[in-house]
Amino acid sequence: MKIRHLLLAITFLPTTSPGQPADLSFPEKGRLVVLHLSSAPFPHPQRTEGHVYNQLFFSAKDHYSDNAVAVFIPENYAANGQVDIVVHFHGWYNNIDTVLARYRLIDQFVASGKNAILIVPQGPKNAPDSFGGKLEDQDGFAHFISEALDSLADRSLISTRRPGSIILSGHSGGYHVMSFILMHGGLTDHIKEVYLFDALYGQTEKFVHWLESEHGKMIDIYTEDGGTKEQSEQLVAEAAAWKIPYRSRVEQELLPGDLEAGGVIAIFTPLQHDQVVQAHASFQTFLRASSLQQISVR
């Protein structure tokens, strides 16, 4: 596959076959590696016959056969005995190529200054589907993280295979796989924060259960017309009954400390659905306010 990367310009990685990961270094920014993992979301038995949406057919070959996983390791990253991880899940009609370029994920990740690695698995490729494949299976997320870290350690790109703190981030349809990871994906005690970018379309009870049991932080940024406003406002309205700390803000009125505190922070933004990740550099802003350690530049 080809990975487009937009930092200073769009760069194409060479085509690789499964088992032969590609990588590319970006001066003063880090290295982008493409792994092909057996624990990646796809292929999956539930999509061996493809998928039908609105009477349109999306074949397994074209949309559910790519087991690629993009991993970005920033310059000056140091494992320090464990690997802190941010995993981002893309939404409908997307793929790793478009996600890295359109939403400036690597630019924003680097600008956050966090001492962690970024993992972006290929979900349903260019398809209208929220299904997360193997990552929705029991302990599927734990197997995925273990294989990813093993692959990176075997290439001497990281010095330990031990996972540290984990942040889950998802745009649009990415919510579905995130909710199942929180419910039974494994490594739940490692997951400290969840970012929903106009993505709370359902499965709210799974997010709430995680908030109650793990006392984590969930940032839910939503728009007027993205289809998530009702669910987001209901979450805030019921948070008190669930005894979950919460804050509800208009984006322009965020207060110092709002993003640092635990519980739920619901943010209404005037942006459009496809702008929430990158237009105001929200991915960068949320990460900067996270509990992850900063990179120490020597």
Per residue in 59-75, pLDDT (tens digit) is 999 999 999 999 999 99
pLDDT at 249 over 90: yes
Domain boundaries, the chain: 4-288
Per residue in 45-54, pLDDT (tens digit) is 999 999 999 9
Domain topology for 4-288: Rossmann fold (3.40.50)
Per residue in 104-144, pLDDT (tens digit) is 999 999 999 999 999 999 999 999 999 999 999 999 999 99
d(CA 2, CA 202): 33
d(CA 139, CA 185): 4
What's the mean pLDDT in 195-212?
95
Q: Is the pTM of this model over 0.75?
A: yes
Cα angle 137, 143, 149 (rounded to 5 degrees) comes to 145
pLDDT at position 239 is 86
